[in-house]
Amino acid sequence: MSELQSRDPEVYDAIEKEVERQNNGLELIASENFVSRSVLEALGTALTNKYAEGLPGKRYYGGCQFVDVVEDVARDRAKRLFKCDWVNVQPHSGASANASVYLTFMEPGDTFLGLDLAHGGHLTHGSAVNFSGILYNAEYYGVEKDGPLAGTIDMNKVRDKALAVRPKMISIGASAYPRDFDYKAFRDIADEVGAVLWMDMAHTAGLIATGALNDPLPHCHVVSTTTHKTLRGPRGGMLLVGRDYENTMGKTAPKSGRLKMTSELLDSAVFPGMQGGPLMHSVAAKAVSFREALEPDFGAYIDAVVRNASAMATAFVSKGYSLVSGGTSNHLMLIDLRNKGISGKDAEAALQKAEITVNKNMVPFDDRSPFVTSGIRVGTPAMTTRGFGEDEFKTVVDLIDRVLTNPTDDNAIASVRGEVHELCARHPLYDFVIS
Ligand code: DSN
């Protein structure tokens, strides 16, 4: 029996049940993944006790000699993984990393241009209820409703919008966009209007690291990410700069008067701008996951994620499901359920009864509210980590279809649930509760 189990059974029991849920069910939330035991071990260490405000070699606390090693290893590995000049591994989350980007490049009230949340964008890209939409003037580009580009971004329209609103910053990146981005075209537009170009690659970082998708780093002034999605690390954030330039904002170093580098501004925005002490246990776990992502088998994993998503998309289409943009080029697909007579909310709830976890999601030009929605978002990163291949994912599509065509039939759902358990048992996940 573990110390936690004997001392605090209330918390232990909830953790045990969550591990069981992860072991027994189909995890298809596109932003989730399963970390290795090494990552879990690093997270559960005494590094959580240490204050380390500042950067390696330049801290505001004593006793940082070993956490300095950890943070330097994390930074070096991340730079190798993404072939970039500079990283900051301290952001507690993707939202926190993004807040540091705004703090660096924008003043309150400034205009920026990002992908509409209702078209696949993210909360921190200008939603009215988020700091990004409260403090700054958010303008949006979206995806096409009809025609050959339906469900995808028309770069001519992005340019028209940028010329009309003259943003100080343009953001790229999404939570529910199944296609890749043309970073060169975005950069040309940013240069034309004098805007900073920022990519939030939270969803696709793993695919970018291995070359499965276009690389934003040569084109963007700054890139942010989370570390826990396709990158398969601990929950957290990171900032990256491909090639570090003197900033164009006229911010100078107080003594020398030289223009500060973009990376210097971003470091200051993370700390002391947005955060206090970094979570050093999490930084250690990030370092561990970056080593894993540098191994050749991570490339094979990402290839499988993309192949599996493509196989799933084809299987859904063959069953009459309507996919935004007609399919996928990455790890996720957005299914518009309007032709199936079920809302995203009801689909999510029915699938949950069969222990198939997805999230309801707005589809572009949705006529339902964000609490109901007309779609679901489905992704392959987590179950691919468990070893699912194309055959298993085709079976998963069959199971989803059986639930969605009988969403109120408890017997049908129970039978699917039994098959879900069998499928998961053939691909074991965690054989422990506390690592
Ligand atoms: N909204 C999360 C997701 O994509 O699931 C990311 O913050």
Taking the centre of ligand 1 as the mean of its atom positions, its distance from the CA of residue 311, in whole angstroms, is 23
Q: Which of 139, 200, 336, 392 is catalytic?
A: 200
Pocket test for ligand 1, best of 27, 29, 31, 127 (most atoms within 8 A of CB): 31
Annotated catalytic residue 51: yes
Spatial contact of 193 and 160, defined as CB atoms under 8 Å apart: no
Annotated catalytic residue 360: no
Q: Whose CA is nearest to atom 4 of ligand 1?
A: 175
Whether residue 266 is predicted with pLDDT greater than 80 in this model: the reply is yes
Residue 272 preceded by cis peptide, ω within 30: yes
**Amino acid, single-letter form, for residue 108:** P
Return the sign of the alpha-carbon dihedral for residues 38, 88, 241, 239.
positive
Nearest atom, ligand 1, residue 31 CA: 5
Q: Which residue has the higher pLDDT, 256 or 193?
A: 193
Residues with CB under 6 A from ligand 1: 31, 94, 175
| Structure confidence at residue 251 (pLDDT) | 87
Overall average pLDDT of the 92-116 stretch:
97
Comparing 16-30, 93-107, 161-175, 249-263, the range with the smallest average pLDDT is 249-263
What separation in angstroms does the CA of 104 have from each of 64, 156, 191, 238, 402?
A: 27, 28, 18, 15, 49
| Structure confidence at residue 422 (pLDDT) | 98
Taking the centre of ligand 1 as the mean of its atom positions, its distance from the CA of residue 138, in whole angstroms, is 19
Map out the domains of the chain with their CATH numbers.
3-25+296-425 (3.90.1150.10), 44-293 (3.40.640.10)
Annotated catalytic residue 229: yes
Backbone angles phi, psi at 394, to 5 degrees: -65, -40
Whether residue 429 is predicted with pLDDT greater than 90 in this model: the reply is yes
What separation in angstroms does the CA of 371 have from each of 49, 137, 199, 240, 379?
A: 39, 25, 27, 34, 20
Residue pLDDT, tens place only, 289-321: 999 999 999 999 999 999 999 999 999 999 999
Residue pLDDT, tens place only, 47-60: 999 999 999 999 99
Spatial contact of 184 and 192, defined as CB atoms under 8 Å apart: no
Whether residue 1 is predicted with pLDDT greater than 90 in this model: the reply is no
Q: Both tokens of residue 174?
A: 């999404």
* Cα 374–chain centre separation: 22
Taking the centre of ligand 1 as the mean of its atom positions, its distance from the CA of residue 175, in whole angstroms, is 6
| Structure confidence at residue 435 (pLDDT) | 85
Whether residue 253 is predicted with pLDDT greater than 90 in this model: the reply is no
Task: Kindly report the average pLDDT of the chain as a whole number.
Answer: 97
Who contacts 177 (Cβ-Cβ below 8 Å, separation ≥6)? 115, 119, 120, 121, 143, 334
Closest CA to 200 of 167, 233, 222, 218: 222
Spatial contact of 161 and 137, defined as CB atoms under 8 Å apart: no
Annotated catalytic residue 139: no
Taking the centre of ligand 1 as the mean of its atom positions, its distance from the CA of residue 322, in whole angstroms, is 22
Taking the centre of ligand 1 as the mean of its atom positions, its distance from the CA of residue 347, in whole angstroms, is 19
At residue 397 the predicted structure's pLDDT band, cuts being 50, 70 and 90, is: very high
Nearest atom, ligand 1, residue 95 CA: 7
Residue pLDDT, tens place only, 312-367: 999 999 999 999 999 999 999 999 999 999 999 999 999 999 999 999 999 999 99
Does the predicted model carry a pTM greater than 0.95? yes
At residue 433 the predicted structure's pLDDT band, cuts being 50, 70 and 90, is: very high
Whether residue 248 is predicted with pLDDT greater than 80 in this model: the reply is no
Overall average pLDDT of the 205-217 stretch:
98
Q: Where are the alpha helices (DSSP H) in 202-295?
A: 205-209, 262-268, 280-294
| Structure confidence at residue 373 (pLDDT) | 98
Q: Which of 50, 77, 168, 235 is catalytic?
A: 235
Q: Both tokens of residue 138?
A: 């958010």
Whether residue 246 is predicted with pLDDT greater than 90 in this model: the reply is no
| Structure confidence at residue 78 (pLDDT) | 98
| Structure confidence at residue 432 (pLDDT) | 96
Q: Give CA–CA dist 37/134, Å, rounded.
A: 40
Annotated catalytic residue 235: yes
